[in-house]
Structure 1
Amino acid sequence: MKKINTIIIEDDKFNVLALTRIIEKHFPEITIVDTASRVNESIQKIKFHQPELLLMDIHLIDGTSFDVIRQCRDQQFKIVFMSAYHEYVIKAVQHAAVDFVFKPFDINDMVVAIDKAIDQLQDENYKLKIETLFNNVEQNQNRIILQGRGKLRACKVEEIVWGKAIQGGANFYMLDNSYFFVTKPLRRYEAMLTDFSFFRCHPHYLINLNHVTEIKPDSQRIRMRTGDEVIYENRRYQQLSERLDHHKEFA
């Protein structure tokens, strides 16, 4: 069994101990080669050990894990992020499709996140995920990773016009009239996009309110900027109308 060298970057010694116990119990293939709690210390240890996996708290004593990664972009590793803070940076991480666990973490959630990171050790698209993460954090861009069969698409949230749930995943339709198939359910993306003016108008459809040009009550359809027409449920009409009015008021 190939050993996976891992560094825990965390400033809470009790969390370090908890993570160590989880790894010892569930992951015999993982070797914890070191721990760190500060930015420069983490950078030095990553460059020395060249680990395959990092378990990182986002907020460190003297900075953030992004300060660390910024100095180690040439290294090849996967990351499981941890944080107790529910803020914009958390959405940036989620939109980039990198593994994340809220603190205080549930043991099962952590096991699943580490498992997923191990599965991605050979992921050739991981660099795109990290670059998307930095675009969101450093340049305040709202970019999201769409995960298809064996390929990814990084796009700005505002480029997505609408999404449709289909068997095996969902299709997202773009401003340039292209579409991209994702292998995860539409609801998975709905949770990430709701704060960015998206609305579930029908069990099968998710729309970007920024691109609505007309509502047609007679046919229960919504006309989008691309010319596509999306069906809405009659029982959601009132909420749709209110969301649009509110959106236009603050646009």
Structure 2
Amino acid sequence: MNCLIIEDNRNTVSMLLDIIRNNFSSIKVLDTASSVKKGITLIKKNNPDFILLDVNLEDGEGFSILKQFPNPDFKIIFITSYSKYAIEAFKFSALDFILKPFTPTEICKAINKVIDSKISNDQKEKLNTFLHNYNSQNKKIVLSDIENLHVVPIENIIYASSENSYTIFTLKNKEEIVVSKSLKSFDEKLSSYAFIRIHQRYLINIQYAEKFHKKNEEILLSNGAILPVSKTKKELLIQALKKL
């Protein structure tokens, strides 16, 4: 396999080169670039199997490179320093990324994942979702079930419910999407976007709340769903409703 390293920190480039040389004899690093402009040129010239792409380059954001390749036939391993907006966008789009400072083990794991995988429409959908989320206030989330990869505006999610190790999303259009991930993982992603955990089994978009019955400890949502509220979450919910 062939790859390119697009990174503007010389020490990081040296580290990446050493990791690849020491662990992947079948991978050839064709060239390196420290800028968006040179990165685009090298991709067009070399047609790599994958690239190691830094989010922040000397002449702009690495994401600018992707705009020149709307349907990339190469895989991408993103490398980034901490950025709240970039990391949120990565999580919502379900794209993998490596956070600086990284370890050789993390790089090896990411490269092995590239070796074992093939280019698919999934990557293109995830990239498009990532770019949308990074540049827009109206976030979308990638939800993958057994057959399809769904790109859903988070404002269209009414609530999510837990079923063992699965999470069922109920949408505004009455569609349900079953994802093989825990509700906890989505709670962490969505808690900053008007979502509140009201029960061990339920995470609701508070924008769809219509009535909270204090005595019965149940909440009525706009789609007619009546969900239980746990005693430990009751006060948190009341405070959130008062802020609407």
Instruction: Describe the shift of the 1:245–1:118 C-alpha distance in structure 2 as closer, same or farther (beyond 3 A).
Output: farther
Structure 2 spans left out of the alignment, 5+ residues: none
Residue 136 of structure 1 is matched in structure 2 by 133
* Deviating 4+ runs (over 6 angstroms): none
Residue 89 of structure 1 is matched in structure 2 by 86
Amino acid at match of 2:185: R
Residue 66 of structure 1 is matched in structure 2 by 63
SS at match of 1:111: helix
Instruction: Describe the shift of the 1:32–1:189 C-alpha distance in structure 2 as closer, same or farther (beyond 3 A).
Output: farther
**1:94 and 1:100 in contact (8 A); partners too:** no
1:37-73 CA distances to partner (integer Å, 9 max, x unpaired)? 1011000111111112121111110001111110122
Q: CA deviation at 1:25?
A: 3.9
Amino acid at match of 1:83: T
CA distance in 2 between counterparts of 1:98 and 1:29 reads 25
Residue 208 of structure 1 is matched in structure 2 by 205
Residue 15 of structure 1 is matched in structure 2 by 12
Q: CA deviation at 1:139?
A: 4.1
2:72 aligns with one of 61, 72, 75: 75
How many residues matched? 244
Farther off after superposition, 16-25 or 204-213: 16-25
Residue 177 of structure 2 is matched in structure 1 by 180
**1:118-157 paired onto structure 2 within 5 Å:** 118-157=115-154
Residue 195 of structure 1 is matched in structure 2 by 192
Q: CA deviation at 1:192?
A: 1.4
Residue 223 of structure 2 is matched in structure 1 by 226
Once superposed, what is the RMSD of the aligned Cα atoms?
Answer: 1.9
**1:99 and 1:116 in contact (8 A); partners too:** no
CA distance in 1 between counterparts of 2:116 and 2:239 reads 43
Q: CA deviation at 1:150?
A: 4.0
**2:75 and 2:119 in contact (8 A); partners too:** no
CA distance in 1 between counterparts of 2:24 and 2:166 reads 30
Instruction: Describe the shift of the 1:181–1:119 C-alpha distance in structure 2 as closer, same or farther (beyond 3 A).
Output: farther
CA distance in 2 between counterparts of 1:85 and 1:57 reads 12
TM-score (norm 1): 0.89
TM-score (norm 2): 0.91
Structure 1 spans left out of the alignment, 5+ residues: none
